[in-house]
Structure 1
Amino acid sequence: MMKNAVKQTAILWVSLLLLGGLTLLILQLPPVRAWLWYQTGEEAFTAQVKGLTDLAGGWLRPRLSLAPDAPMDHTDVNPFGINVFLEQEVEPAKREQAVAMAAAAGYHWLRQEFPWEDIEIHGKGDFQDRRHEPYRSAWEKYDHIVDLAEKYHMELIVRLSNPPAWTRAAGDAVGTYAPPDDVQDFADFVYAVVSRYKGRVRYYQLWNEPNIYPEWGEQPVSPEAYTELLKAGATAARAADPDVVIIAGALAATIDLDGTVHAGRNFSDLLFLQRMYDAGAAPYFDIMAVQGYGLWSGPTDRRMHPRVINISRHLYIRDLMVKNGDAHKPIWISEMNWNAAPPDVEPRYGRVSLAQQARYLPLAYRRVIQEWPWIGVAATWYLKRASDDWLANRQPEAYFQLLAPDFTPQPVYQAMKDFIHNGTVPDG
């Protein structure tokens, strides 16, 4: 009897080994590898197998409420946007060259910050720039940006953030991005900008990444305080222009949980948004915004886990919006791309090759268009910077660029141009 038991155990183990080997062989077949890529966004075989187990775990979690057929505002729009730093271009001709190249690639939206500290520079109600001689209107540069958008038949998403030091009793000691002491100062600035560009700029984003450091300064982040800022800004904007569309500050995807307790830390985008709703934020934004970075996996990653950050994470945001009665509001992605950081640069935001970046970004836009009806605009991060300081300092932020500071196109620029105009994606 003992011999039979040993024999049966041996047969079982051999069978399992054979089955495992057969499974391994099947998983490596090209059609299966293609399916694994389509599900996990991973190109390496071992990562695909790990991704398969992640997918299986996701099937055990509750289904998300996405309401894909709900009537939604601000989704029947051109989906192609791009982030620009036009205010950094000293020469108007280079400013125009940047806009012209964005337009030539097929982009329709320019997401451009109008930094508060660069417009109301020296004090309340003072819109003169006296940092250089001769003095000039602080509006001059921004008037030109609005003119350029109109000239090239593009629309602006104007981001209002970055207060001047005079708005805080502690100045910049609490962080250069920290909110003002009095939200009415922000409301008055918003009113001034929206009034000036009424009928020419319709979409305004109030703040950026209020749930992470350093965008809320050297202090704990606060969904409730941000809601008060949003409320004041939106009320002022709507008073200046009843046709204005308010975009909430883009939430950065993060799984951190201590940002509302400790300064210099981050706070979960999902919990931050729910607390915004609890604080009464819903009437004060028309569009929710998120950041859509792919980081360490590709644009086809369909894995869903609350503690995993990938291109599909915004589905959790959509689920929260639906459950809070905002199924009619869309999500716009404020920043989306993959980081083509060289081997000697810290891969803080993941790392892909230039060829992968050129393939991944068009594929992400294809998902936006085909799979996610609640997304209106996705804005590529980013066109170019005027200075090469990021590159010179080997900062990982630099390697999302579509154009080098001297306007040299990167492979991803041509890939997006081909996709927007022809619908083609690079092979790979």
Structure 2
Amino acid sequence: MNRALVSVVLLLGLAAIPQPLAQRGDDGPVPGVHTIRAGDDVLQLAADGGFAWLIQLVEWREVEPAPGEYFWEYTDWLVRAAGYYGLDLVLRLDHPPAWAVSPGAEMPVDAAAYAALLGRVAARYQGRVTAYVVWNEPNLAAEWAGQPPDPAGYVELLCAARAAIREADSRALVVSAGLAPTNHADAPAVDDREFLRAMYAAGAGACFDVLGAHPYGFAHPPDDPHGAHDGLNLARVADLRAIMVENGDGHKPVWATELGWTTAAVAPEEQWLEVGDEEQGRYLVGAFERAGAEWPWLERIAAWNLSHGLPEEDEKRGYSILDGEGRPKPAYEMLAAMAAGQEAVARPAGMQTAEILAPDVVVRLSDVDTYYPHWARPHCGALPCRSWSGLFYIAEPGSAPWRLRMEIMQVEEPGNLVRVNGQLLDPPAIPLRGRPDLASVWTAVEMPVPAELVRPGANILEIESGPRLPAYQDGTAGFESIQIRNVRLVTAP
């Protein structure tokens, strides 16, 4: 590892560790959930179930598919929505793009590029994201670009990420990757305990604030004794804690960033892992109870997972505490009952501005993918791309009118319609630019939005491109090409 980098992170490690919003209480760890790709319905369920925090995967390959090309629309929405629902947000970043991976190289992942992205994310969401989980299960070759697991290589990645996060947001916590519990010691997988020892030997102690853990119960109940079943049970987390203490990290907490039992194993060799719906719920609640009684250092537990709509062949589906249609399984109900006694998190009392698209997030609607300077790719990913919708949140709409403000490019036709919650505005179309300059110029516009169209909570803004005048239509493009950015709803003066 780069010695200069280690010196930097050692100095950073001397600073006081930032404290997250949700703290462990007398009853045990803070309950949370790990989502797969959360939508508004999943965040509502998380908040309604009394979960104080959630972890969401951010795929590097989605946010930065090409070097320096960023797509922030989903993560921007996620951060805004988590704030509205009062959820303490933790982001996990992995799933690298092909350009950042070098299979066969000594270091298969571009650590500098990964750290640069994390620094950019932490700066963008400064003060709004509690913690960042650096990678996922690097003790598996499947999660390390197909290469044999390399503890020192992962520590290089971890330390680079921590330095970038700390520079961008000094209050954000850095969580080490949860390691897969396994007794293997070969090219595909390395025992998580041995991997952690090797991480410490490579200097990892200076590079994280919280140890991430994946203490799955496999098929065994949460009170299964320590060491039983070759150590493949919930109590294995105590082994990781002992290694932390051996290395002088007893002052740091542990977060179970994934913990669960499956009700629908997929592979034939994994059928033994399957438990019943009621057992899944009892086991998850039992994990919180055991941690509350025995492990004061286990500060948070995120149930794996809160999701729906996954394919039947996806092994993550059985671990969800929702069924395939998004209905709560017994596990959700039992965890919600467990969390019912906790103090509810207050949601924003009033908002004068609701951001819908950031100033640097551009949505292009078009029938063609022709490249022009200053133009983005069509938003839909496929042609024709003629409509876009975005979620925004209002705590209390009030009775006064609102104003929709946005920047537009090339609105020369009168039929580009705007709806709020399915209702056309009045007037219904984006105003024409009415300027003689070139089309690749941004223009600010404003449209009135009656208060009765806005509702408390989640709202939907829809923009639909209109057809060109017949004289300007051809066999390729029949609809207007437009771009929008910097879209927000503000209270009228």
TM-score by length of 2: 0.61
Per-residue deviation, 1:405: 3.5
Per-residue deviation, 1:86: 2.5
Structure 1 unmatched ranges of 5 or more: 1-70, 88-94, 128-137, 424-428
Counting only pairs closer than 5 Å after superposition, residues 114-193 of structure 1 correspond to structure 2 as: 114-121=58-65, 123-127=66-70, 138-169=71-102, 181-193=109-121
Structure 2 unmatched ranges of 5 or more: 1-16, 343-493
Matched, 1:407 2:326: yes
Per-residue deviation, 1:181: 4.2
1:266 to 1:188, Cα distance in 2 relative to 1, 3 A = same
**Which residue of the other structure, out of 366, 370, 374, is the alignment partner of 2:297?**
374
Q: Distance in 1 between matches of 2:50 and 2:148?
A: 40
Per-residue deviation, 1:346: 5.0
Q: Distance in 2 between matches of 1:342 and 1:193?
A: 35
**Which residue of the other structure, out of 306, 316, 325, is the alignment partner of 1:397?**
316
Per-residue deviation, 1:232: 0.6
2:310 corresponds in structure 1 to 388
Over residues 63-92 of structure 1, what are the superposed CA-to-partner deviations in whole Å (9 max), with x where a residue is unaligned? xxxxxxxx99769336111011235xxxxx
Q: Distance in 2 between matches of 1:100 and 1:250?
A: 26
1:412 to 1:240, Cα distance in 2 relative to 1, 3 A = same
2:264 corresponds in structure 1 to 341
2:252 corresponds in structure 1 to 329
1:115 to 1:312, Cα distance in 2 relative to 1, 3 A = same
Q: Distance in 1 between matches of 2:149 and 2:271?
A: 22
1:235 corresponds in structure 2 to 163
Note if contact 1:72-1:327 (Cα within 8 Å) is conserved in structure 2.
no
1:233 to 1:348, Cα distance in 2 relative to 1, 3 A = farther
Q: Distance in 1 between matches of 2:151 and 2:145?
A: 14
Q: Distance in 1 between matches of 2:293 and 2:49?
A: 21
Per-residue deviation, 1:398: 1.8
Q: Distance in 1 between matches of 2:264 and 2:235?
A: 22
Q: What is the RMSD of the two structures over their aligned residues, measured on CA atoms? A: 2.5
More displaced stretch, 265-274 vs 408-417: 408-417
Q: Distance in 2 between matches of 1:305 and 1:194?
A: 41
Q: Distance in 2 between matches of 1:229 and 1:240?
A: 17
1:80 corresponds in structure 2 to 31
Say which structure, 1 or 2, has more relative contact order (CA 8 Å, 6+ apart).
Answer: 1
Note if contact 2:57-2:91 (Cα within 8 Å) is conserved in structure 1.
yes
Q: Distance in 2 between matches of 1:194 and 1:153?
A: 19
1:252 corresponds in structure 2 to 180
Per-residue deviation, 1:190: 0.7
TM-score by length of 1: 0.70
Q: Distance in 1 between matches of 2:288 and 2:213?
A: 15
What secondary structure does 2:337 align onto? helix
1:23 corresponds in structure 2 to none
Note if contact 1:73-1:330 (Cα within 8 Å) is conserved in structure 2.
no
Q: Distance in 1 between matches of 2:207 and 2:267?
A: 44
Matched, 1:309 2:228: no
Q: Distance in 2 between matches of 1:210 and 1:162?
A: 12
1:186 to 1:344, Cα distance in 2 relative to 1, 3 A = closer
**Structure 2 residue identity aligned to 1:140:** E
2:335 corresponds in structure 1 to 416
Per-residue deviation, 1:315: 0.5
What secondary structure does 1:382 align onto? strand
